[in-house]
Structure 1
Amino acid sequence: MFHQVWAALLYLYGLLFNSTYQCPEHGHLTALGVDETQSPEPHLGLWYFIAGAAPTKEELATFDSVDNIVFNMAAGPAPRQLQLRAAVRTKNGVCVPRKWMYRLTEGQGNTELRTEGRPDMKTDLFTSSCPGGIMLKETGQGYQRFLLYNRSPHPSERCVEEFQSLTSCLDFKVFLVTPRNQEACQLSSE
């Protein structure tokens, strides 16, 4: 009898908790739509990689050796292209330059980006409640991860906590914050 009452109470608590707590919503950024009248202008410029979240540790392993990353997003040489340059500072102090091109996919209001040379990889952009923040969801062959970027290399702790709470709610249980203990590397001008 006691076990039945206990089970019923746990069941009711579960129903109540699930009905009152829901994951926060996050909407697609509409400014990066492929409509020719819309511009990616608000998203151009410098961004700092702050944190990442994924379902497994392996999906974030790329960032294990990273101290900080600074990105510059610029309009590409053709319509619906974005050119990214990055300067990765590893924990041992080495600067590693990177660059790649995103293509905005066809479709009204679509914010999906495809990385040139990586047909399996897609990137979706999301708003962040953090001032000066943006979230990306990268999906590729065998991985998916959310990444938090900010205009400041040191956003408030609240921003990081909100990102972790949201991604955890979406079953991205592994979380990584870049240390950002060293000075950011200079971006190459190429």
Structure 2
Amino acid sequence: MYQRLWSWMIYLSGLTLQLLWNCEYDDKVAAGSLNKTQYSGKWYFIMMAADSDASLLKFRAMDSNTFQLTPMEAEQKLLLRGEIRLSQSMKCLSRQWIYHINNKTQEMILEGRPYQKTEIFVNDSDDYIVLLESQDKGSERFQRLMLYGRSPALTDFARLKFEHRAKCMNLTAIFVLEQAQEPCEIS
């Protein structure tokens, strides 16, 4: 009973905050100045927002994800390895991506996808990182906001902040990974 009441109080206070928050955020980090050591390590993909349901389609097949972010020997690259648990089979798929960092731009570029840009948003005291992936050229066009956490758990406040940012960016399609099973282990 008290837990449900507490949840409603947090929800209502979050709604109030959303009404008071403006849409200006100052947590964007230039890719070249990202503290690669601080943000290295294990991350969990928790939720995302996109400009359309079609942009979320391939992500809806996921139950949970675990990622390992590692700076590569070449200083201007980051390796992101992932273990993705599928919703239907509950099997884990291994994937990896290499991001190129150019100190002259604000974003990272995914290897093999030159038109896809990834912007980074972080708060030093936060256990979350937000990535904005966008592509306005080529065969696929999209804009999607992705929330990663140091833990697979999501606080109500972090969810409200993320949803507010998405609303400010006109990203109306939102997907939260179900996490029905434990995330796959990553070594």
Q: State the TM bucket, normalised to the shorter chain.
A: 0.7 to 0.9
In structure 2, the partner of 1:183 is 182
Counterparts of 1:121 and 1:104 in 2: how far apart (Å)?
13
Question: Equivalent pairs: percent with the same residue?
Answer: 29
1:105 match: 102
Query: What SS class does the counterpart of residue 49 from structure 1 fall into?
Result: strand
8 Å Cα contact 1:129/1:159 also seen in 2: no
Provide the secondary structure at the position in 2 that maps to 1:175.
strand
When normalised by structure 2's length, the TM-score is: 0.80
**2:146 is aligned with 1:165:** no
Structure 1 residue aligned with 2:71, among 68, 75, 86?
Answer: 75
1:64 is paired with a residue whose SS is helix
Q: Is the 8 A contact 2:49 2:145 kept in 1?
A: yes
CA distance in 2, matches of 1:47, 1:65: 19
Q: TM-score, normalised by structure 1?
A: 0.78
SS at match of 2:29: coil
Deviations for 1:118-140, whole angstroms, at most 9, x for unmatched residues?
11211110125983001000012
What is the match of residue 143 of structure 2? 144
Kept after mapping to 2: 8 A contact 1:139/1:145: yes
CA distance in 1, matches of 2:75, 2:160: 36
State how far apart, in whole Å, the 1-side matches of 2:122 and 2:184 are. Answer: 26
**Does the CA contact (< 8 Å) of 1:59 and 1:145 recur in 2?**
yes
Question: Partner amino acid for 1:27?
Answer: D
Report how far residue 100 of structure 1 moved: 1.3
Structure 1's unaligned 5+ residue stretches are 1-19
Moved over 6 A (4+): none
Shift of 1:21: 6.3
Matched, 1:25 2:25: yes
Look up the equivalent residue of 2:153 and give its one-letter code.
Answer: H
* Residue correspondence of structure 1 range 47-86 to structure 2 within 5 A: 47-86=43-82
Unpaired runs of 5+ in structure 2? 1-19
The residue type equivalent to 2:118 in the other structure is T
Give the drift of 1:68.
0.7
Cα shift at 1:24 = 4.0
1:95 aligns with 2:78: no
Q: CA RMSD in A?
A: 2.0
Q: 2-side partners of 1:24 and 1:160: how far apart?
A: 17
Aligned pairs, number: 163
Distance 1:186 1:70 in 2: 7
Distance, in Å, in 2 between the alignment partners of 1:73 and 1:111 is 19
Partners of 2:51 and 2:172 within 8 A in 1:
yes
